[in-house]
Amino acid sequence: MCFTPRHFSWILFMFLLTLQRVAPGGEAGVWPMPRKMSEGSERYALHPQGFSFRYGRDSSAQLGCSVLDAAFRRYFALCFPENTKIFNDDFNIVSFVIVMLCGTCKPKCLFLLILQRYSGLESFSQLIYQDDSNTYYINKTEIEDFPRFQYRGILLDTSRHFLPVRTILKTLDVMAYNKFNVLHWHVVDDPSFPYQSQSFPDLSNKGAFHPQSHVYTQADIRKMVSHARLRGIRIIPEFDSPGHTQSWGKGQPGLLTPCYKGLHPSGTFGPVNPTLSTNYNFMGRLLKEVSTLFPDPYIHLGGDEVDFSCWKSNPDVRMFMKKMGFGTDYGKLGSLYFKNMMNIIETLNKTSVVWQDVFDYHSSPKSLDVVEVWKAGCYMCEVRRVTAAGVRVILASPWYLDQVLIYFCAGSGTEHQKRLLIGGEVCLWGEYVDGTNLAPLLWPRASAAAERLWSDEAQTSSVSQAYPRLAAFRCKLLRRGVQAQPLFVGHCKHEYEDL
Amino acid sequence: MCFTPRHFSWILFMFLLTLQRVAPGGEAGVWPMPRKMSEGSERYALHPQGFSFRYGRDSSAQLGCSVLDAAFRRYFALCFPENTKIFNDDFNIVSFVIVMLCGTCKPKCLFLLILQRYSGLESFSQLIYQDDSNTYYINKTEIEDFPRFQYRGILLDTSRHFLPVRTILKTLDVMAYNKFNVLHWHVVDDPSFPYQSQSFPDLSNKGAFHPQSHVYTQADIRKMVSHARLRGIRIIPEFDSPGHTQSWGKGQPGLLTPCYKGLHPSGTFGPVNPTLSTNYNFMGRLLKEVSTLFPDPYIHLGGDEVDFSCWKSNPDVRMFMKKMGFGTDYGKLGSLYFKNMMNIIETLNKTSVVWQDVFDYHSSPKSLDVVEVWKAGCYMCEVRRVTAAGVRVILASPWYLDQVLIYFCAGSGTEHQKRLLIGGEVCLWGEYVDGTNLAPLLWPRASAAAERLWSDEAQTSSVSQAYPRLAAFRCKLLRRGVQAQPLFVGHCKHEYEDL
């Protein structure tokens, strides 16, 4: 059996290493911290020339499972950085398989029992270390692990700056090292529209920074989705509306609301015009295309920071409000917009995510699927309000990387409410971020959040205990070529060098 | 004549471009802004295949001037990024030469009159642009230029994190693009001692993060000095003492003052012990070696943040104070230390730079050569105090890159005092900086300081006018492979891509 992870489950995996004993003395540590891990002092030499990952006889997956075959090639390179070329093949997901590892140190073999997926290989690779003579070792280790939250995300913003495809692919690699499993892709926004639509090519022809060099083609997106899938990562696209849509207006006349100054149009435009059925037709066709490209069951509809003032200024909108009996409550107009949008999403058999703003102005907030809480202040109050309405929550507030990182205290409310908090995500907004600085801004700061989202809260509450482990993990990232910035004064055995 | 810049002069250079006219429409702009620049609308096509830098007949430098020959090769690559391999050769310094440029667009030729050095080639290279068909153009341009300050520096700290040699060499390249001309190298400090001394190998054997991989050999340093020289950059080494020397103590027993707790040594150590003549002998030998490796006339002696409490705790130091009649004024002990250090520097025929702390505690501050002002607050008050004493000043306070960048208002005091403010520098301290994030942290933020240090103050006082020019310069840096982070939302024609 060879499958790809679409839905999430609480997962258990375990290493059982029984190997020829060599000598004591490991370093290592695994980031994020596993639920249970006992590392013995017996260490075993691993010889890259004679080492291989093999499928166990009882393994449900066998040779020919392309996802896993590729994972073995990739993790071979990650385990033995000095002895391997980089394999560009894809990899991932081990499901109830036994993997057998044999070194040259026969006759005994290393048995790796993995009761779940990529995280097993990742943790295994982090346990391997080198002594001063560069011999590779692993200590006898037993691990039992599963994630705290099913949703462990990172938001990237490709509208304020264009991120090269290669930068995004590399970020997906490092996400897998950190056991992140969701890329929330904030594709478009006011400054630019880099998504190249087949149905509406003018959106990027006129709305991207550049219609050829600063767009994501459908082929680019398929490549990203595939790259992510093989690493156990979902990509959730966000097409934020009705606000944050200035760039859309260039290629889709009539979409945005003309703002008025007194009796005359001011020449500027506001949010999507919610009074026109043509706009819902357009949205339906665009999102249908998007939902085909992105297999993930979630689509993020945005909905944050809708400025009602332009709607208020427009006489047609005011007339519509009157006709609908909305009075002067423009939240009702926003609700209507989202009801229509969610109908579209429903016909596409998808689940919608919206920013917390929609929950706050929506007239029937209980009808929402998933709400993402992003505002600072008492964000756990907002989480409780949303879960009390029986709606699932993704929490982003504590992990806006332009702010100071704080640890959040999860799970207040009833047990049912706690279960509705499905996870959280790190938001790297794009005002000051592009391919030049994304990696050092993201890593290892997002790694701290990765542990909050994966590991047991009680076991990881001490920052002073986490520090050396995170510093060691950051050195491992350097060894893998990731431009992860330092935590503080210190050094790694292998420093980053831009060659 | 072919010389290298050691001392600085107010410099004039000028382009006179008289070429076959093609069509109007340049973009460009030069960063830092030249004193006078008039760009015409006539543009001229440049064809890389037929383009070359040549020495004019009246040029004082001619073929065989290796510095300039290499500069031509390097700047050819920088002018035509798509048509060239990177030349790794060195380059630089044009002195009263006429350089003739001939494109394929004969019969007319392009004459470039450069009345001074690297800045000429740099400005010239920044004026070249490409149209949509990737043809290179330059507009008819006249430039007259000279720097505002003779000292335009960047401080790098290799003690808190080790910076790979390659990172420093690349930084020197980008410094030249920005017309910075001093690398203030804060080599050693408390956390590590990466300078590999021939006379005292134990200093790095015991004081570096790692005795082999985290040291600068004498060969490394010669390479850096040569690389810098060819780009018109001085390297001023700083061996900060008597404080900030914890890492020195590991390889040089007896150097640091044993701190006492009551009647007994506490086991910790304080600043260099200023009471022992053996320590001055050691410093003399070390600095002699350093002064041979670094040809620059300046050596930075540090002197900041000396904590007197350890000296106060030590009975031998107290007895020495009594003997010298210093009472309880430990500033006098600091003065004595610096008098001895400056005697050493004098015998080496060097000029010493110290941090402002020394000026503040020194009993005869007028005897100092150059003082670097680094503390926040009313730093111009400190500048005035130092220049009033007839001492030269380097100003760093406004450009600590861990703080918000501010523009400083230079030149208060008498004309003589203004002349004593010889320049300023950007300080990139190493607590949170290593090879992973140095480039995006430094560029283009340091470029803003570069303009303050080079350009006319009155012409560059508008931030809104500087913004688009700096954004364009940052795009040029990307094109040259520099990982310069974005200023704000936007895009470059050629985005940075980590390949």
Reported as a single tens digit per residue, the pLDDT across A299-336 is: 999 999 999 999 999 999 999 999 999 999 999 999 99
- pLDDT of A143 above 90: no
How close, in Å, is residue A426 to chain B by CA atoms? 20
Q: In chain A, whose CA is at the least distance from the CA of B169? A: A498
How close, in Å, is residue B362 to chain A by CA atoms? 31
Buried b (16+ CB within 10 A) or exposed e, B157-174: bbbbbbbbbebbebbbbb
HSE-CB for A351 with a 13 A CA cutoff: 12
- pLDDT of A30 above 70: yes
Amino acid at B143: I
Residues A468, A311: Cα–Cα separation, whole Å: 53
Report the pLDDT value the prediction gives residue A60, as an integer from 0 to 100.
63
Q: Indicate the CATH number of A151-461 among 2.40.30.30, 3.40.50.880, 1.10.760.10, 3.20.20.80.
A: 3.20.20.80
Residues 6+ apart with CB under 8 A from A21: A42, A43, A44, A140
- The enclosing H or E element of B476 equals helix B463-479
Taking only the tens place, the pLDDT of each residue in A243-259 is: 999 999 999 999 999 99
Residues A118, A114: Cα–Cα separation, whole Å: 9
Residues B326, B319: Cα–Cα separation, whole Å: 10
HSE-CB for B470 with a 13 A CA cutoff: 22
Report the pLDDT value the prediction gives residue A251, as an integer from 0 to 100.
98
Q: In chain A, whose CA is at the least distance from the CA of B479? A: A436
Chain A positions touching B439 (Cβ under 8 A) are 436, 498
Q: In chain A, whose CA is at the least distance from the CA of B189? A: A489
Chain B residues whose C-beta is within 8 A of a chain A C-beta are 160-162, 164, 166-167, 170, 191-192, 209-210, 213-214, 430-437, 439-440, 478, 483-486, 488-491, 493, 495-499
Residues B25, B10: Cα–Cα separation, whole Å: 32
Note whether B490 contacts A433, CB cutoff 8 Å. Answer: no
By mean pLDDT, which of A101-115, A281-295, B171-185 is the weakest?
A101-115
Note whether A432 contacts B485, CB cutoff 8 Å. Answer: yes
The model's confidence at residue A119, banded by pLDDT at 50, 70 and 90, is: very low
HSE-CB for A349 with a 13 A CA cutoff: 4
Please answer whether residues B223 and B165 qualify as being in contact, where contact means their C-beta atoms are separated by less than 8 angstroms: yes
Report the pLDDT value the prediction gives residue A81, as an integer from 0 to 100.
81
Residues A491, B158: Cα–Cα separation, whole Å: 11
- pLDDT of A8 above 70: no
Residue with tokens 């006379």: B199
Report the pLDDT value the prediction gives residue B61, as an integer from 0 to 100.
66
Nearest beta carbon to residue B495 from set A164, A192, A490: A164
Nearest beta carbon to residue B210 from set A192, A214, A491: A491
How close, in Å, is residue B499 to chain A by CA atoms? 8
Catalytic residue among B82, B305, B346, B495: B305
Q: How far is CA A344 from CA A392, B26, B125, in A?
A: 20, 49, 54
Note whether B430 contacts A210, CB cutoff 8 Å. Answer: no
Taking only the tens place, the pLDDT of each residue in A452-490 is: 999 998 888 888 888 999 999 999 999 999 999 999 999
Chain A positions touching B432 (Cβ under 8 A) are 485-486, 488
DSSP-assigned letters across all residues of A162-191: ---HHHHHHHHHHHHHTT--EEEEE---SS
How close, in Å, is residue B112 to chain A by CA atoms? 34
Amino acid at A130: Q
Mutate to test the interface with A, among B495, B496, B497, B499 (most CBs of A within 10 A): B495
3-state secondary structure of B406: coil
Distance, C-alpha A118 to centroid of its chain? 15
Active site residue B497: no
Q: Which two tokens stand for residue B84?
A: 């060239």
Per-residue pLDDT of chain B (499 residues; tens, 9 = 90+): 233 332 222 222 333 333 333 333 345 588 999 888 887 788 877 777 767 776 666 666 677 777 777 777 888 888 888 754 333 333 332 222 334 343 332 223 333 444 333 347 788 888 888 888 888 888 877 777 888 999 999 999 999 999 999 999 999 999 999 999 999 999 999 999 999 999 999 999 999 999 999 999 999 999 999 999 988 899 999 999 999 999 999 999 999 999 999 999 999 999 999 999 999 999 999 999 999 999 999 999 999 999 999 999 999 999 999 999 999 999 999 999 999 999 999 999 999 999 999 999 999 999 999 999 999 888 999 999 999 999 999 999 888 875 544 444 555 678 888 899 999 999 999 999 999 999 999 999 999 999 999 999 888 888 888 899 999 999 999 999 999 999 999 999 999 987 6
Amino acid at A399: W
- The enclosing H or E element of B327 equals none
Chain B positions touching A402 (Cβ under 8 A) are none
Nearest beta carbon to residue A489 from set B167, B431, B484: B431
Interval A159-175 mean pLDDT: 96
Q: In chain B, whose CA is at the least distance from the CA of A210? A: B493
Burial class from Cβ neighbours inside 10 Å (0-12, 13-18, 19+) for residue B494 reads middle
Taking only the tens place, the pLDDT of each residue in A193-235 is: 999 999 999 999 999 999 999 999 999 999 999 999 988 899 9
HSE-CB for A48 with a 13 A CA cutoff: 19
Residue B265: asked if its preceding bond is cis (omega within 30°), the reply is: no
Please answer whether residues A302 and A239 qualify as being in contact, where contact means their C-beta atoms are separated by less than 8 angstroms: yes
Nearest 5 degrees, angle CA B417-CA B421-CA B425? Answer: 165
Q: In chain B, whose CA is at the least distance from the CA of A477? A: B436
Q: Where are the domains of chain B?
A: 36-144, 151-461
Q: How far is CA A498 from CA B155, B231, B483, in A?
A: 20, 21, 10
Q: In chain A, whose CA is at the least distance from the CA of B213? A: A493
Nearest beta carbon to residue A436 from set B440, B493, B499: B440
Amino acid at B169: L
Burial class from Cβ neighbours inside 10 Å (0-12, 13-18, 19+) for residue B191 reads buried
Q: In chain B, whose CA is at the least distance from the CA of A499? A: B166
Chain B positions touching A433 (Cβ under 8 A) are 485-486
Interval A429-437 mean pLDDT: 94
Determine whether domain A36-144 maps to CATH 3.30.379.10: yes
Residues A133, B301: Cα–Cα separation, whole Å: 39
Please answer whether residues A445 and A401 qualify as being in contact, where contact means their C-beta atoms are separated by less than 8 angstroms: yes
Distance, C-alpha B374 to centroid of its chain? 15
Note whether A209 contacts B491, CB cutoff 8 Å. Answer: yes
Listed as own residue / partner, the contacts of A278-283 with beta carbons closer than 8 Å and 24 or more positions apart are: A278/A254, A279/A254, A279/A255, A280/A340, A280/A341, A280/A344, A282/A200, A282/A252, A282/A255, A283/A241, A283/A340, A283/A341, A283/A344
Report the pLDDT value the prediction gives residue A313, as an integer from 0 to 100.
98
Nearest beta carbon to residue A483 from set B191, B436, B490: B436
Residue with tokens 């994966």: A454
Note whether B491 contacts A162, CB cutoff 8 Å. Answer: yes
Report the pLDDT value the prediction gives residue A136, as an integer from 0 to 100.
85
Please give the backbone phi and psi of residue B99, each rounded to the nearest 5 degrees, phi first.
-110, 130
Taking only the tens place, the pLDDT of each residue in B204-224 is: 999 999 999 999 999 999 999
Nearest 5 degrees, angle CA B397-CA B400-CA B402? Answer: 145
Chain B positions touching A489 (Cβ under 8 A) are 160-161, 191, 430-431
Q: Which two tokens stand for residue B339?
A: 């008098």
Mutate to test the interface with A, among B483, B488, B498 (most CBs of A within 10 A): B498
DSSP label at A404? -
Distance, C-alpha B89 to centroid of its chain? 21
Please give the backbone phi and psi of residue A392, each rounded to the nearest 5 degrees, phi first.
-70, 150
Report the pLDDT value the prediction gives residue A17, as an integer from 0 to 100.
33
Using alpha carbons only, how large is chain A's radius of gyration in Å? Answer: 25
Give the pairing of strands A421-428 and A151-157: parallel
Note whether A498 contacts B434, CB cutoff 8 Å. Answer: no
Note whether B486 contacts A433, CB cutoff 8 Å. Answer: yes
Report the pLDDT value the prediction gives residue A137, as an integer from 0 to 100.
84
Counting one residue from A and one from B, how many pairs have CB atoms under 8 Å apart?
A: 116
- pLDDT of A148 above 80: yes
Chain B positions touching A435 (Cβ under 8 A) are 495-498
Q: Which two tokens stand for residue B442?
A: 């430094």
Residues A251, A263: Cα–Cα separation, whole Å: 26
DSSP label at B31? S
Residues A24, A357: Cα–Cα separation, whole Å: 55
Nearest beta carbon to residue B164 from set A162, A167, A495: A495
Catalytic residue among A305, A382, A415, A425: A305
Burial class from Cβ neighbours inside 10 Å (0-12, 13-18, 19+) for residue B429 reads middle
Amino acid at B320: F
